[in-house]
Amino acid sequence: LDQQAIQAIRVYEDTLTKPPGSLGVLESIAAQLGGITGQAFPEVAAPKAVVVMAADHGVVAEGVSAFPQEVTVQMVANFCNGGAAINVLARHAGADVVVVDVGVAAPIDHPQVISKKVRLGSANMAQGPALTREEAVQALEVGIAVAGELIDRGYRLLATGEMGIGNTTASSAIVAAFTGQAAAAVTGRGTGLDAAAVGRKAAVIDRALAVNRPDPADPLDVLAKVGGLDIAGLAGLILGAAARRVPVVIDGFISSAAALVAARLAPLASGYMIASHCSAEAAHRRLLELLGLKPLLELEMRLGEGTGAVLAFGIIDAALKTLREMATFESAGVAKGEA
């Protein structure tokens, strides 16, 4: 990050007609975006896109989700028809929805879907590795390539989204693998399990960890053995955005698991992340702490797709507009305080 730009923004913010620091996180975001872009007056980032990585998870065979696997491909169709929550919220935010098939367990042939299928869903991690190391790298590279293409097309702010029945199971497994915590401590309701089903889901994750023994010091090993193609694609998207100095807004639990993989692969990538919300999924707050990120929104959402991330777009725009458009004490003839 450009520390000089950050410092210049911090100084300028204190000349604006408000008590110093009183815009709180808005001031921090403006400074962060200055650090990312190297601009002392960062422009409101546009155009914006949310990238929805879609993939299936073999672990659904263990009964870890309240929804059947075919919902992944059905929801991809819903995204293409504009009827899903992410379509509504992206329209509201003035952002485009980019859907990537990185591993849905059914053929998808739709002009609106970027087809980058690595394989037809991951394998069942309760019985062996979800992916080979090569497949995990391939899915990472899909994300890096998509970020590059979007940035080449002019996008200046990206957000992460996903669709994949079973992907909270993989996300909890990743958190457990990196932290050494028991699965029960980091496993939640996903799309709506009851307490007994959450217990069974945690047991499946413990089994996956015991069978695969992912090495927490080797993020690729964790990603391959207990991750998934959507998560790998998002980790790549984050790395690709950071490498091109484009900020990336992190959605909920699954996106944050991908962000953790990205941060372990390339710690400097964290500076390009903006956490959008803290979801209702049990371990999300812990995951955000691991990332060192503070969420902008707390709306008890637990939908994924990028829905929380695009809601945060409006807050980010607002932060930049206050920096760019507010009067200074001097220009407005307002007396400064002692503070």
Any idea which residues carry the catalytic annotation?
A: 305
Between 11 and 182, CB nearer to its own copies? 11
Question: Residue 106: exposed, middle, or buried by beta-carbon count in 10 A (0-12, 13-18, 19+)?
Answer: middle
Size of the site for its own copies (CB under 8 A): 62
Question: Cβ of residue 113: shortest distance to its own copies, in angstroms?
Answer: 16
Cα dihedral sign for 265, 128, 250, 193? negative
Query: Is the bond preceding 111 in cis, omega lying within 30 degrees of 0?
Result: no
Tell whether residue 191 is a contact of its own copies (CB under 8 A).
Answer: yes
Count the Cβ atoms, other than its own, within 10 Å of residue 334: 13
Tell whether residue 298 is a contact of its own copies (CB under 8 A).
Answer: yes
Question: Cβ of residue 135: shortest distance to its own copies, in angstroms?
Answer: 27
Between 149 and 298, CB nearer to its own copies? 298
Q: Which of 70, 179, 195, 269 binds its own copies (CB under 8 A)?
A: 70
CA distances from 238 to 46, 68, 216, 256, 274 (A): 18, 29, 20, 11, 11
Q: Which residue has the tokens 């672990």?
A: 59
Q: Which of 207, 216, 280, 286 binds its own copies (CB under 8 A)?
A: 280
Question: Cβ of residue 178: shortest distance to its own copies, in angstroms?
Answer: 26
Tell whether residue 210 is a contact of its own copies (CB under 8 A).
Answer: no
Residue numbers 128-167 binding its own copies by CB under 8 A: none
Beta bridge pairs of residue 52: 99, 161
Question: Cβ of residue 121: shortest distance to its own copies, in angstroms?
Answer: 17
- Region from 68-76, 105-113, 121-129, 285-293 binding its own copies, contact rule CB under 8 A: 68-76
Between 37 and 87, CB nearer to its own copies? 87
Tell whether residue 61 is a contact of its own copies (CB under 8 A).
Answer: no
Tell whether residue 213 is a contact of its own copies (CB under 8 A).
Answer: no
Cα dihedral sign for 85, 86, 92, 97? negative
Distance CA 141, CA 112 (A): 20
CA distances from 74 to 13, 17, 77, 119, 197 (A): 47, 51, 5, 18, 24
Tell whether residue 15 is a contact of its own copies (CB under 8 A).
Answer: no
Q: Which of 152, 154, 180, 325 binds its own copies (CB under 8 A)?
A: 325
Q: What are phi and psi of 97, to 5 degrees?
A: -105, 125
Distance CA 61, CA 130 (A): 12
Count the Cβ atoms, other than its own, within 10 Å of residue 109: 7
Question: Residue 233: exposed, middle, or buried by beta-carbon count in 10 A (0-12, 13-18, 19+)?
Answer: buried
Between 17 and 132, CB nearer to its own copies? 17
Residue numbers 72-111 binding its own copies by CB under 8 A: 74-75, 77-78, 81, 83-85, 87-89, 91-92
Tell whether residue 301 is a contact of its own copies (CB under 8 A).
Answer: yes
Residue 293 gets the label, from left (phi > 0), alpha (psi -120 to 50) or beta, of beta
Among residues 247, 243, 254, the alpha carbon closest in space to that of 319 is found at 247
Among residues 25, 116, 34, 40, the alpha carbon closest in space to that of 318 is found at 25
Between 92 and 153, CB nearer to its own copies? 92
Question: Cβ of residue 124: shortest distance to its own copies, in angstroms?
Answer: 20
Between 85 and 185, CB nearer to its own copies? 85
Between 34 and 240, CB nearer to its own copies? 34
Q: Name the site residues for its own copies (rule: CB under 8 A).
A: 16-26, 65-68, 70-71, 74-75, 77-78, 81, 83-85, 87-89, 91-92, 191-193, 280, 296-303, 307, 311, 314-315, 317-318, 321-322, 325-327, 331-339
